[in-house]
Amino acid sequence: MRLHRFYITTPIEEKKFDITDRDLVHQWKSVFRYNVGSQVILFDGRGTDYLCMITSLRNLGATLEIYKEKKTDDVPRNNVYLCMALVKKDTFELITQKVTELGVTNIIPVLCEHSEKRKLNMQRLNKILVESSEQSGRGDIPVIHEIMKIEEVFQRGILPQEKIVLHPEGDPLRNYLSGLHEVHSFAVFVGPEGGFSPKEVALLKSYNVPAVSLGSQILRAETAAIAISSLLIL
């Protein structure tokens, strides 16, 4: 039987340890119907899966014991920072889910002139990050940053050296990638449904961010974000 996998925020340091996350314990008892002797997989975001047995299960907590450790093998070849323009709530949540499964390391919500939304439910998005990491088997949790404008992203100095913007009039992505060697960190800007405004395109150009394209087709924001992320990661 396949063991379910759960993320815990407290680093696992001892072979036998307590869980005090009431929501997680409630999920184990009420949803999964776990009992003493039930087995689970836990990870704390540091690249290791811990196969554990529940030795005590109480209303407000649980005690577990590790019986096996396994390093997470599916580490992405490249680090990808997705600078994603704000789009509709459901669309942004779908993008968050899928790029987490693919292995994106950072998601930076970007406020653009054509953005339909101006706010995000960060609590909901962080929950999606955790659930998607649990489901996909990745050993870490991506970082989702606060909403920023394009100029703020650069002012913070958080991006890697290689940066690109997805634009229908850009050079083919394969041409851009063919000129790179031993580069394993990328930042990619993906616009909203209406695309980046001329002012934003000029701003990105002023930061020496080359434009690349995935072909002549006009892609939805979610399709573009997922496609470019998978190509850069894999």
Q: Where in the chain is the domain with CATH 2.40.240.20?
A: 5-71
Contact 52, 19 (CB under 8 A): no
Q: Determine phi and psi for 134, rounding to 5 degrees.
A: -60, -45
pLDDT at 73: 65
3-class DSSP assignment, residue 30: helix
Round to whole Å and give the CA distance between 136 and 117: 28
pLDDT at 75: 62
pLDDT at 67: 95
Q: Where in the chain is the domain with CATH 3.40.1280.10?
A: 79-233
Average model confidence (pLDDT) across the chain: 92
pLDDT digits (tens, 9 = 90+) for 31-41: 999 999 999 99
**CATH for 79-233 (3.40.630.30, 3.40.50.720, 3.30.460.10, 3.40.1280.10):** 3.40.1280.10
Which two tokens mark 70? 């396994």
Average pLDDT over every residue of 144-158: 96
Give the CATH number of domain 5-71: 2.40.240.20
Calculate ∠ Cα 70-76-82, nearest 5°: 135
pLDDT at 107 > cutoff 80 = yes
Round to whole Å and give the CA distance between 188 and 7: 28
pLDDT at 78: 84
Average pLDDT over every residue of 118-138: 94
